Structure 1
């Protein structure tokens, strides 16, 4: 029999009893109690999947999160039997399963405990709704910190928090508002310098308690479905992040223009206003690549239509904008207007594509067009149909799509009632199971359609709601935020948290969607967003008619804003390389200091600072009128970006914060590739790639990835990978370079800009050839600048 405890409002809790038998098949191990089955699956030496059948029968093994390309690659594994436990071992882990109650202890190969069940797996009947509530509780280790869980607007370290995943249209959310838009049931634990992750792949409403109810227990549970989770061992947190992203999928490379600056508001119309905005960017020489059209571009908010009064010639408008270097992104919501004269409504109705209530009536609710019905994206036939609807937009010239309101959000009702039915790829379930993946599958089918009809170009997609794994096809933003200093802080924390939750291509509505920022707040927000993978200003319509463009706050602020947007474009080679690392090996683009210096307890609660790629440490000014601030530098040597002053890490540093600056530091030894100034990506051929090299006396490796910046030639090897290794010491600067080259760039040489050299040289030796250095090579900022052929392999500069 199962062990039972006292009842609660949900009924009696059930616990597994003793193991009666077990079996092994390939990399699967199954343990059988009276009713419960535990399946342990060795995915890799550091990844173990645990799956429980509470009543002896597993549900369908199906996931919308995991990638089709996930490989099972255990090298060495086996099982040992002990008196009180079974031990499943790999080259990296030991998993101990208690014979009397299935409780699990996981250690490293030396026996150091990484993660340990408290009460472990248990369950109870969900008497109100049906099915089971499945639980798992773990012991909290001494000093343990917790991270991850997607877009939660709270402290980076989740210790002491209870949070849930149930996609919600949280308009004007504040700090600690929960739940929000996205549903990422993945978290990290860190204790004793050891990092691990747990991915709870369950689409029902899920709850996570990180020691709030009981200080010594961390627990997670779902109001339906199975207890099915992946344990991922590091011990480095960044290794956990990479492994998680490989489980749930890595993204394609975006078009380079999507990493430029985006301008959006609710709403730019008519077409003359859109052209005016575009022309003003070019006139004021503020770089910009993307302009968005919000719901007012549609005919009565009907998806896939154009308002003929506001946009009589959309294709012509988009051609004109393209000639000036702009791409157009349009919004598409899930609500389809109930209108017998609307062809998309007619087609969906005729083919039974829309969601229905339990009694067979259509799921109807009011959204922007009025009464709407909603496609069932969990039906693969509906997804295929939805994808086909983007043909017209793509042919009109639209290059990206913005999926909004897809939690799903419904006016007055909040969202769908739980009795709404879904196909769920043939399973037929209630909305309780499908809610958290509704927007996820909408964005997946949107991306598939845009990719199909934009070939050979790459599409761009941004979605408000999603589930784990959405990084495979979409970017996200942090939702309907507020023009406040607190929300500037939240933007930093949320984007860091999303990045380590698998979704690096993220940003916030610069300046805040709700309300009106002053010039200082907008400027400080632009500075932070310069170092977010998605850089988009977006604001709501309002009665005052205030516009939130970079020039809206007066010349003083416009000058600084332009400086930082221009810096963003100069850093595009570095940003694109960082995205390539993310797309290749799942490495987060934004890295909290706790993830890059986890052995240093001082980093575990840092929120303002983060690493942007391998080489840049970024903080942000988070208070009005702030003249100086403290920044914590992890171990190593760091150059202050604005003046090349050198600082030793593992300490807090007080930094002056005039309006025209924010704290940015470069790792000593790094090579930072940069473009010359430009107004938009591909404005003109890059004839000179700058390599800003920062002298350092420890070995540091840097990279530069290059391809065409659009289309899919990179998949056929049409790219360059250039690696740099600096091995300098007090007597000489020494930079080595290796490369794979299969893409022809427009530039034929590099301008080397050397920072921080501790002596004044007379020559640089490039591939054995001495290049004299004279006054023209020494800039006023004490950097050394000289040219080197693109194909150089070694530079040596010796102390005279």
Structure 2
């Protein structure tokens, strides 16, 4: 029992649930003792020497004395490597089938006795011992993966049930920086250390030092002077990634390369590498794993949530408070307290006597209702959801065929096996109840999955059996994709039940490819200033892993924020994709008027600024779907060779036009901001700052510093909600521009796309446009220019 287990035990002992969690933990322990193979003797294996190679489309297979390696370059330049016969499929990460092989990529002998696959964008060399190097077309090494090592059961019968665990070490440039690995509170730049690949409920509020969290991914984005590349190990098992940054000039003037070690408890050794500019890498990544789902327009506004609204009257009171004060509000979220005894897909009729009427009344004011959905189903005969799940044979079973039981909010629960297509179909049909209650969207919680336990890992037994799309396997392989497959079930159900509208779904847990079904949020972030930093780190890191729509619990989940902390958090979140306040049932209220008149005034400004930027956010959402580019981008996004920007973690880019510099400490009223190259205008004062370099900016309590790139055409909403264009003067002799993408609502209609180019003519701005000629917008000039000129 570790320290966290001890704290958890002390918290729960003495309560009825505490006793049940102790029983659940022991039951899990006994189930695994009976259902998992006992560790036995192992033997280590390395590839040995290369013996021959066979050309295949896109590359070929190199056969070694004790293994084989398949190298395949896909159309577009993504490189697949699979050891021991591993192929790209089946895979939970890929969107549809594997991309076609590049017919121009060829396998040929290497001058050093190995082999190489030559393609237009990358060259892959394989040494005689099994080291794999990915090089730019100019021959610069982006990464070098050393020969892997496997540990497999010595006895043949054990090998049938226990796949070999493996380790692979890699080297990157000494100046390289690591990003990604899913949601990491310590990011966005990942320092030296070990990062576990196991989706985990931390069991309370988390801060920057807590790892792992709810959503881990074996995805690294590596940025160096030589270039940017993404490395994805397509393996859903438990693992650890250990990173070590390099040192330039270490030891007699020689560089020490950066290092990475990936250790997996089982599963295939297969991976993808994508190289190019950050934008090209993320675009190829989206093509490989799926385009991000497009949220409905209203989901880009401000959301208010609380665990503990308690009654319909309280929900109406909060909604009325926003209306009375003229504050923008897009959605209210109901947590588990609106359920009947915490049973999923139910309503407590005593406290919420008419949810459809409540939803209808809120919709009249432009406010949608969003429902929480947990995967745990109360295992109670007579509960319609449970009974229908038993009839559909939808629940996870153990190695002996018995239904796996856990302990969650409603008590003893059963867990759907979302890796079973028939179970997903059954679950998807249950969402009709949510739609009939008037809910416009859903958020999935507790789907790591969590089963409360006084000690040990708070999840299902590792020996629990899963369908895994018909292949069969246990929870060791299925755990990390449980939230992903639940999101798939929910998304497909909403599409079928309400086909005319884009679904709104976000999930606490998931895996690679979850952007296909929606977004995510921070989970239970700690209520303190480090929690603000962790919030930004999570959004940036997830965006670089292909999940562009996310955001934090504004104000933190469990504690009571000071007025200043709440305000600074709200001001940051106003520029993040998912803009939502949320708090635990014990944490008090989060309405802006609860923090005094000064905070209310400044919070109102932040909410209205988000409302003003809705056309820009909608454009970014469409761009994310089309290109894979995240809304929120690190400062180095367009300048990955700028080392100062690679190390900048206290500011970010929102699309191509805005630079946002949040406040992370109390009492700060001015702050230094690192500027990328070009001219940047202070959005509040219009003052110009030229980069690269640094600028000291004012940060009064009323706002955080926001800069606009010179030449930008920024789509915004006027006071009536109509779209207009804010044109910021470009630098003389240079062009700027922007994009506006609009749709007609929350459905699937083809959007309207307009491109703008700006340049100076004298002291006036010329704006040229590409798009429908019959659509006109008001344009307002900002920056160092007098006005507009006719093209």
TM-score where L is the length of structure 1: 0.89
- Secondary structure of 1:41 counterpart: strand
Which of 76, 86, 92 pairs up with 2:115? 86
- Paired with 1:517 and 1:436, the residues of 2 have a C-alpha distance of 33
User: How do residues 682-693 of structure 1 correspond to structure 2 at under 5 angstroms?
Assistant: 686-687=721-722, 689-693=724-728
2:446 corresponds to: 405
Are 2:380 and 1:339 equivalent residues in the alignment?
yes
1:36 Cα offset (Å):
0.7
- Paired with 2:295 and 2:569, the residues of 1 have a C-alpha distance of 24
Q: 1:583 to 1:434 in 2, by over 3 A?
A: same
1:693 Cα offset (Å):
3.2
1:69 Cα offset (Å):
6.7
1:160 Cα offset (Å):
1.4
- Paired with 1:12 and 1:641, the residues of 2 have a C-alpha distance of 63
The answer to which of 352-361 and 297-306 deviates more is 352-361
Write out per-residue CA displacement over residues 269-323 of structure 1, whole angstroms, 9 at most, x where no aligned residue.
Answer: 3111111111111101110010011111111111111111011111111111111
1:112 corresponds to: 140
2:52 corresponds to: 21
- Paired with 1:47 and 1:134, the residues of 2 have a C-alpha distance of 23
Which of 63, 79, 95 pairs up with 2:124? 95
Which of 735, 749, 768 pairs up with 1:713? 749
2:82 corresponds to: 51
- Secondary structure of 1:357 counterpart: coil
Give yes or no for contact 1:257–1:289 (8 Å, CA) kept in 2.
Answer: yes
Query: Cα RMSD over matched residues?
Result: 2.1
Are 2:664 and 1:622 equivalent residues in the alignment?
yes
Give yes or no for contact 1:160–1:215 (8 Å, CA) kept in 2.
Answer: no
- Secondary structure of 1:617 counterpart: strand
Give yes or no for contact 2:82–2:88 (8 Å, CA) kept in 1.
Answer: no
2:27 corresponds to: none
- Paired with 1:137 and 1:29, the residues of 2 have a C-alpha distance of 23
Give yes or no for contact 2:373–2:442 (8 Å, CA) kept in 1.
Answer: yes
- Paired with 2:382 and 2:450, the residues of 1 have a C-alpha distance of 25
1:732 Cα offset (Å):
4.4
Which of 568, 578, 596 pairs up with 2:610? 568
1:584 corresponds to: 626
1:188 corresponds to: 221
Give yes or no for contact 2:87–2:270 (8 Å, CA) kept in 1.
Answer: no
Which of 238, 257, 266 pairs up with 1:224? 266
1:45 Cα offset (Å):
4.7
1:468 Cα offset (Å):
0.5
1:25 Cα offset (Å):
2.7
- Paired with 1:677 and 1:70, the residues of 2 have a C-alpha distance of 48
Give yes or no for contact 1:254–1:458 (8 Å, CA) kept in 2.
Answer: yes
Write out per-residue CA displacement over residues 694-727 of structure 1, whole angstroms, 9 at most, x where no aligned residue.
Answer: 343321231000111311112xxxx211111012
- Paired with 1:199 and 1:35, the residues of 2 have a C-alpha distance of 24
Q: 1:239 to 1:175 in 2, by over 3 A?
A: same
2:242 corresponds to: 209
Which of 138, 142, 145 pairs up with 2:177? 145
- Paired with 2:573 and 2:40, the residues of 1 have a C-alpha distance of 46
- Paired with 2:371 and 2:716, the residues of 1 have a C-alpha distance of 31
Write out per-residue CA displacement over residues 366-389 of structure 1, whole angstroms, 9 at most, x where no aligned residue.
Answer: 100000011111100000000001
User: How do residues 160-559 of structure 1 correspond to structure 2 at under 5 angstroms?
Assistant: 160-170=192-202, 171-211=204-244, 216-234=258-276, 236-412=277-453, 414-542=458-586, 546-559=588-601
1:183 Cα offset (Å):
2.2
- Paired with 1:10 and 1:437, the residues of 2 have a C-alpha distance of 30
Give yes or no for contact 1:638–1:667 (8 Å, CA) kept in 2.
Answer: yes
1:751 Cα offset (Å):
2.3
Give yes or no for contact 1:163–1:178 (8 Å, CA) kept in 2.
Answer: yes
1:521 Cα offset (Å):
0.6
Give yes or no for contact 1:164–1:205 (8 Å, CA) kept in 2.
Answer: yes
1:221 Cα offset (Å):
2.6
Give yes or no for contact 2:179–2:187 (8 Å, CA) kept in 1.
Answer: no
- Paired with 1:161 and 1:241, the residues of 2 have a C-alpha distance of 25
Q: 1:730 to 1:242 in 2, by over 3 A?
A: same
Write out per-residue CA displacement over residues 608-627 of structure 1, whole angstroms, 9 at most, x where no aligned residue.
Answer: 11110010011101100112
Write out per-residue CA displacement over residues 161-208 of structure 1, whole angstroms, 9 at most, x where no aligned residue.
Answer: 221110101121121311110121111112224111101110001221
- Paired with 1:139 and 1:393, the residues of 2 have a C-alpha distance of 50
- Paired with 2:759 and 2:100, the residues of 1 have a C-alpha distance of 38
| Structure 2: gaps (5+ residues) | 1-38, 247-255
1:157 Cα offset (Å):
2.0
- Paired with 1:180 and 1:73, the residues of 2 have a C-alpha distance of 36
1:75 Cα offset (Å):
5.8
- Paired with 2:287 and 2:87, the residues of 1 have a C-alpha distance of 24
2:649 corresponds to: 607
1:399 Cα offset (Å):
0.8
Are 2:789 and 1:754 equivalent residues in the alignment?
no
Q: 1:280 to 1:106 in 2, by over 3 A?
A: same
Query: Does 1 or 2 have the higher relative contact order (CA < 8 Å, sep 6+)?
Result: 2
Give yes or no for contact 2:602–2:702 (8 Å, CA) kept in 1.
Answer: yes
1:36 corresponds to: 67
Are 2:95 and 1:67 equivalent residues in the alignment?
yes
- Paired with 2:688 and 2:88, the residues of 1 have a C-alpha distance of 57
Give yes or no for contact 1:20–1:33 (8 Å, CA) kept in 2.
Answer: yes
Give yes or no for contact 2:633–2:655 (8 Å, CA) kept in 1.
Answer: yes
| Structure 1: gaps (5+ residues) | 1-7, 679-685, 767-793, 795-800
Give yes or no for contact 1:337–1:372 (8 Å, CA) kept in 2.
Answer: yes
Write out per-residue CA displacement over residues 55-111 of structure 1, whole angstroms, 9 at most, x where no aligned residue.
Answer: xx547931111111764362621122134121210112111111x212112211221
1:359 Cα offset (Å):
2.0
- Paired with 1:325 and 1:10, the residues of 2 have a C-alpha distance of 64
Number of residue equivalences: 733
Q: 1:33 to 1:159 in 2, by over 3 A?
A: same
- Paired with 1:58 and 1:69, the residues of 2 have a C-alpha distance of 15
- Paired with 1:137 and 1:86, the residues of 2 have a C-alpha distance of 20
- Secondary structure of 1:382 counterpart: helix
Give yes or no for contact 2:327–2:607 (8 Å, CA) kept in 1.
Answer: yes
